[in-house]
């Protein structure tokens, strides 16, 4: 692949041209509505997990699939969604995805068992990927240059609104109408987006997209599923158990098969040659860093606030506001700052701020009170919000405009699949530290260690105390605090590494040719690479 393909998704546009034409605002508004609704549907159920478990029962692993299943399906489907949107039309796929998302939301709302709920949530994640990626790809056809940067930063704000108010709305609905009301509300919002948004889009597709890479989709989905299952099962069965080793071996085999399938395609769903460029990999590190510095905290913290700190779902949702609210405000400001500060150092600075917040959160003691969480969560939220609105535009900018579906699909895969894996990894790390602490604290049978650790990490101290009555609630609380602290420090280290990558490998560059010398956004390697 030539170096030119790594420059922009279209002709060079002066960076000071960030105006959005009046007629384009309706198009932007359509996708913006979906950008608010989708993350709300993913985040709000997090605070509902204790209530779902109390009504439907199920193990900690089964309850985790309420979250992990949706993320795993979203991450598995995003590249396929981009390819389908390029082939069959972005507007058409946007509408189909919204219809499916609405129906599945209602199925989740009225699920009689946890198994039905988990299956419906998984399918809902795939439907959400179809709608979201098709909408983003449609939007990429409408804007160029800094106007596109501004448009995607506005979408980042929409995502932020959904994330910021998801825990609060979820907590309020649980307290007043019950956890099922969350999914009914999401279905109503989805219907609103379908009615108001879809008519505002114009149809577009890639004329060169001829066939759908079905085997690539299957191979990628199986690959990601095997990896996630291995990470989740490792602390339960032991990393050297035959089951976990089989899952890891299957992952390696399927990853090789997926790469071979994509290399053999004339029009691959994933152009794997892009990953030979350090500059392209650098952009993928941004969503991975945000996953470990922000997304996992969003999903791990409610269990501590409700189960360890003794808060209600509504109180926990309100305390999450310092973490989530910056995503609703700062992405737009971050796009404006790129007029004076390069995107790479700006993103790296944000990740450093987030790492500091994770370090402070690691040392908040159980029972310290809600105020002790505010500053660490605010720093984590601000740190993630700075690169949040810049990442999507950077991803679209590395492929030709007509392959926008592939560009958004690849990036969204790294973003959402990375989030799914990050949630599983952090859960495994937290469980591992909890198990290690229990082994040091007393002589428990291996099954008792696993059961106690699952109860602790899930915020169910009562279940943990029943599994290890000799240890006492006070000691279990302290062991949980030690495990939580160690896990947050691991996340801080990952975030700092990603910050260094962003600062070194992503920066603005001046592109000149025979006809023009406009400044445009590219991803550059440092000198000597």
**Which of 163-177, 381-395, 492-506, 511-525 is least confident?**
511-525
With pLDDT > 70 as the criterion, what percentage of the chain qualifies? 79
For residue 274, the model assigns a pLDDT of: 62
Same domain, 376 and 236: no
For residue 529, the model assigns a pLDDT of: 32
For residue 41, the model assigns a pLDDT of: 81
Same domain, 260 and 380: no
Would you say residue 290 has pLDDT above 50? yes
- Integer CA distances (angstroms), 330 to 72, 341, 372, 381, 462, in order: 28, 15, 23, 9, 40
For residue 101, the model assigns a pLDDT of: 92
Same domain, 19 and 167: yes
Phi and psi torsions of 342, nearest 5°:
-55, 150
**CA gap 130, 71 in Å, rounded:** 13
The mean pLDDT of 442-464, rounded to a whole number, is 81
**Which of 34-38, 94-98, 197-201 is least confident?**
197-201
The DSSP string of 287-331 is: HHHHIIIIIHHHHHHHHIIIIIS---HHHHHHHTHHHHGGGGTHH
Would you say residue 13 has pLDDT above 50? no
Q: Mean pLDDT score of the chain, rounded to an integer?
A: 78
Report residue 328's pLDDT band, with 50, 70 and 90 as the boundaries. Answer: confident
Q: Quick check: 398 and 407 in contact, CB under 8 A? A: yes
Intra-chain end-to-end CA distance of the chain, in Å? 17
Q: Which residue matches tokens 């989530």? A: 324
For residue 139, the model assigns a pLDDT of: 75
For residue 513, the model assigns a pLDDT of: 37
Same domain, 200 and 235: no
For residue 308, the model assigns a pLDDT of: 86
Same domain, 340 and 431: yes
Q: What is the DSSP letter of 414?
A: I
In a domain, 527, yes or no: no
Same domain, 319 and 189: yes
In a domain, 209, yes or no: no
Q: Pick the more confident residue, 262 or 25.
A: 262
The mean pLDDT of 399-418, rounded to a whole number, is 62
In a domain, 37, yes or no: yes
The domain boundary, picked from 224, 243, 266, lies at 266
Same domain, 223 and 182: no
Taking Cα atoms as reference points, which of 258, 364, 367, 370 lies closest to residue 314? Answer: 370
Would you say residue 160 has pLDDT above 60? yes
Of the ranges 62-76, 131-145, 368-382, 423-437, the best mean pLDDT one = 368-382
Same domain, 235 and 166: no
In a domain, 196, yes or no: yes
In a domain, 529, yes or no: no
**The CATH number of the domain where 155 resides is what?**
1.20.1250.20
Would you say residue 518 has pLDDT above 60? no
SS3 519: strand
In a domain, 138, yes or no: yes
For residue 256, the model assigns a pLDDT of: 92
The mean pLDDT of 488-505, rounded to a whole number, is 89
* pLDDT tens digits, one per residue of 61-108: 777 788 878 878 887 787 778 778 877 888 888 889 999 999 999 999
The DSSP string of 486-516 is: HHHHHHHHHHHHHHHHHHHH---EE---SS-
In a domain, 526, yes or no: no
Same domain, 258 and 272: no
The mean pLDDT of 348-366, rounded to a whole number, is 93
**CA gap 402, 414 in Å, rounded:** 21
Domains in the chain, number: 2
Would you say residue 199 has pLDDT above 90? no
Would you say residue 159 has pLDDT above 80? no
For residue 469, the model assigns a pLDDT of: 82
Beta bridge partners of 194: none
For residue 512, the model assigns a pLDDT of: 37
- Domain limits for position 223: 214-266
For residue 401, the model assigns a pLDDT of: 55
**CA gap 422, 428 in Å, rounded:** 10
Q: Quick check: 11 and 267 in contact, CB under 8 A? A: no
* pLDDT tens digits, one per residue of 334-352: 767 777 877 778 888 899 9
In a domain, 252, yes or no: yes
Would you say residue 405 has pLDDT above 60? no
Same domain, 384 and 337: yes
**CA gap 370, 323 in Å, rounded:** 13
The mean pLDDT of 147-169, rounded to a whole number, is 75
SS3 340: coil
Would you say residue 14 has pLDDT above 90? no
* pLDDT tens digits, one per residue of 218-277: 888 888 888 888 888 888 888 888 999 999 999 999 999 988 888 887 766 666 666 666
The mean pLDDT of 505-529, rounded to a whole number, is 39
Same domain, 405 and 276: yes
Report residue 7's pLDDT band, with 50, 70 and 90 as the boundaries. Answer: very low
Same domain, 253 and 279: no
């Amino acid at each position: 692949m030539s170096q030119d393909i790594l420059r922009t998704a279209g002709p060079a546009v002066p960076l000071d041209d960030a105006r959005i034409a009046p007629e384009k605002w309706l198009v932007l508004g359509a996708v913006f509505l979906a950008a608010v609704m989708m993350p709300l549907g993913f985040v709000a159920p997090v605070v509902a997990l204790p209530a779902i478990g109390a009504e439907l029962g199920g193990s900690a692993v089964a309850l985790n699939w309420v979250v992990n299943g949706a993320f795993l399906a979203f991450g598995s489907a995003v590249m396929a969604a981009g390819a389908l949107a390029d082939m069959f039309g972005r507007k058409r796929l946007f509408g189909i995805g919204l219809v499916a998302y609405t129906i599945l939301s209602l199925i989740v709302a009225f699920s009689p068992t946890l198994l039905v709920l988990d299956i419906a949530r998984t399918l809902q994640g795939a439907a959400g990927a179809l709608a979201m990626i098709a909408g983003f790809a449609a939007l990429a056809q409408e804007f160029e240059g800094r106007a596109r940067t501004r448009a995607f930063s506005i979408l980042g704000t929409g995502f932020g609104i959904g994330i910021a108010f998801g825990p609060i709305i979820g907590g309020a609905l649980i307290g007043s109408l019950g956890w099922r009301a969350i999914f009914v509300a999401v279905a109503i919002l989805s219907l609103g987006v379908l009615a108001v948004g879809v008519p505002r889009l114009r149809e577009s597709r890639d004329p060169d997209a001829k066939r759908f890479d079905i085997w690539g989709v299957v191979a990628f989905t199986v690959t990601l599923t095997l990896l996630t299952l291995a990470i989740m099962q490792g602390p339960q069965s032991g990393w050297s158990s035959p089951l976990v080793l089989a899952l890891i071996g299957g992952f390696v085999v399927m990853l090789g098969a997926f790469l071979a399938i994509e290399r053999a395609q004339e029009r691959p769903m994933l152009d794997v040659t892009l990953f030979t460029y350090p500059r392209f990999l650098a952009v993928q590190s941004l969503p991975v860093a945000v996953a470990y510095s922000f997304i996992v905290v969003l999903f791990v913290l409610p269990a501590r606030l409700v189960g360890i700190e003794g808060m209600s779902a509504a109180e926990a949702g309100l305390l999450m506001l310092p973490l989530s609210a910056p995503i609703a405000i700062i992405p737009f400001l971050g796009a404006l700052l790129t007029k004076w500060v390069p995107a790479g150092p700006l993103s790296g600075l944000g990740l450093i701020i987030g790492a500091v917040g994770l370090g402070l959160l690691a040392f908040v003691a159980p029972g310290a009170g809600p105020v002790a969480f505010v500053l660490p969560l605010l720093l984590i939220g601000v740190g993630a919000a700075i690169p949040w609105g810049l990442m999507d535009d950077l991803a679209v900018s590395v492929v030709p405009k007509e392959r926008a579906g592939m560009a958004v699909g690849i990036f969204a895969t790294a973003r959402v699949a990375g989030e799914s894996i990050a949630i599983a990894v952090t859960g495994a790390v937290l469980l591992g530290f909890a198990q290690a602490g229990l082994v040091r604290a007393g002589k428990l049978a291996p099954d008792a260690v696993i059961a106690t650790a699952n109860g602790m990490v899930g915020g169910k101290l009562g279940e943990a105390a029943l599994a290890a009555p000799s240890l006492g609630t006070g000691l279990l609380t302290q062991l949980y605090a030690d495990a939580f602290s160690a896990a947050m420090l691991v996340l801080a280290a990952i975030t700092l590494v990603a910050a260094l990558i962003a600062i070194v490998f992503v920066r603005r560059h001046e592109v000149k040719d025979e006809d023009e010398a406009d400044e445009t956004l590219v991803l550059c390697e440092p000198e000597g690479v």
